[in-house]
A = this chain, B = another copy of it.
Amino acid sequence: MRATVMYAAGDVRVEEFLDPVIEQPTDAVVRVVRSCICGSDLHPYHKRTAADGRTTMGHEFVGIVEDIGDDVTTVKPGDFVIGPFAWSDGTCEFCREGLQTSCVHGGFWNNGRGVLGGQAEAVRVPQADGTLVAVPGVDESSPLLPSLLTLSDVYGTGWHAAVRAGVTEGDTVVVVGDGAVGLLCVLSARRLGAERIILMGRHEDRTELGRRFGATDVVSQRGEEGIAAVRELTPDGYGAKRVLEAVGYAPAFEQAIGVVRPGGVISRVGVPQYVEAPVGGPVFYRNVTVTGGPAPVRAYIEHLLPSVLDGSVDPGLVFDRTIALEDVADGYRAMDGREALKVMIA
């Protein structure tokens, strides 16, 4: 089978691999129907060195179960499944608390320990019972594939940001970032009842989609100017109680600090590209809470699935380009160059 390999920054190829097989009784093998490129894949696309060694890529996919290990009971060959961006046993204390990204038997794709990535024709899925969610009645011709695919990461990640921020009926929410996760933070905040949603982003086609998802205001300025513009939109200029940070770069976190109200929450789901951040000053003095992390999307799939299946939400709109696996390098280029918001691999 073919799979995506990154050799170093900017160097993405498609190569032949042995077909994945069941290695553990808890494994499943899934034929990938749709996968995609994540904003977080762009970090190694910028930074990875040849010395880091090559790695397969991809952690978002939907597909059809081809084979299962002896211990697998919740999915069977032929099932259409959603694969979350982390695998998890579903039984440990963290999984039971809904924090599957900290599962004691869990892990992440492309981990260098024999679990390859989802930008491929097939994947081996460890801990299949805890990880995969079968979706009865859906097959590979479904028009819902893009939206179902967002449940493997970006919709669940936006949802996590909003849940962790405590978004509730009538809230004013600021979303920092107009990437796919930022836009799905908007959708999630709206679904949780936010009344005013201010989206900070400067790509008009993206912020337009943000409005469609529920943003009531768009602020395109950045830095101090952007902070001032957002604050002006909030009652008495105090800022917003809930700020969802969907970028991961230090300036985005600083913008979040600038627009959060005293006593408010900054919920981070953009993978931090910084080690240290200024949480000693106004974050402390204004009793601001900083929360978030890698979304346990597995915890949210059952909850979010019905609204995807009945069409009341359409998170799949974040995909604005579809490519074939052999063109994956073009997909990376397009996302890196901001020509595409999010690229689906069919």
A residues adjacent to B (C-beta < 8 A):
93-94, 97, 99, 101-102, 164, 236, 262-263, 268, 271-281, 283-294, 296
Contact = CB atoms under 8 A, between A and B. Distances in A.
Contacts of A286: 102, 293
A263 B294 contact: no
Q: How many copies does the complex hold?
A: 2
Contacts of A273: 280
Nearest to A267: B289
Given A289-B291, A293-B287, A279 B276 contact: yes
Contacts of A289: 164, 289-291
B263 A94 contact: yes
Pairs of residues from A and B, 8 with the lowest C-beta to C-beta distance, nearest first: A287-B293, A102-B262, A272-B280, A276-B276, A289-B291, A99-B263, A275-B280, A290-B290
Contacts of A283: 290, 293
A275 B272 CA distance: 18
Contacts of A284: 268, 271-272, 292-294
Nearest to A295: B287
Nearest to A266: B290
A257 to B, nearest CB: 12
7 contacts: A102-B262, A275-B281, A276-B277, A276-B278, A276-B280, A286-B293, A287-B292
Central interface residue in A236, A272, A287, A296, by most chain B CB within 10 Å: A287
B277 A279 contact: yes
A300 B285 CA distance: 18
B285 A294 contact: yes
Contacts of A287: 99, 101-102, 164, 291-294, 296
A284 B278 CA distance: 14
A262 B292 CA distance: 11
A164 B265 CA distance: 12
Contacts of A271: 284
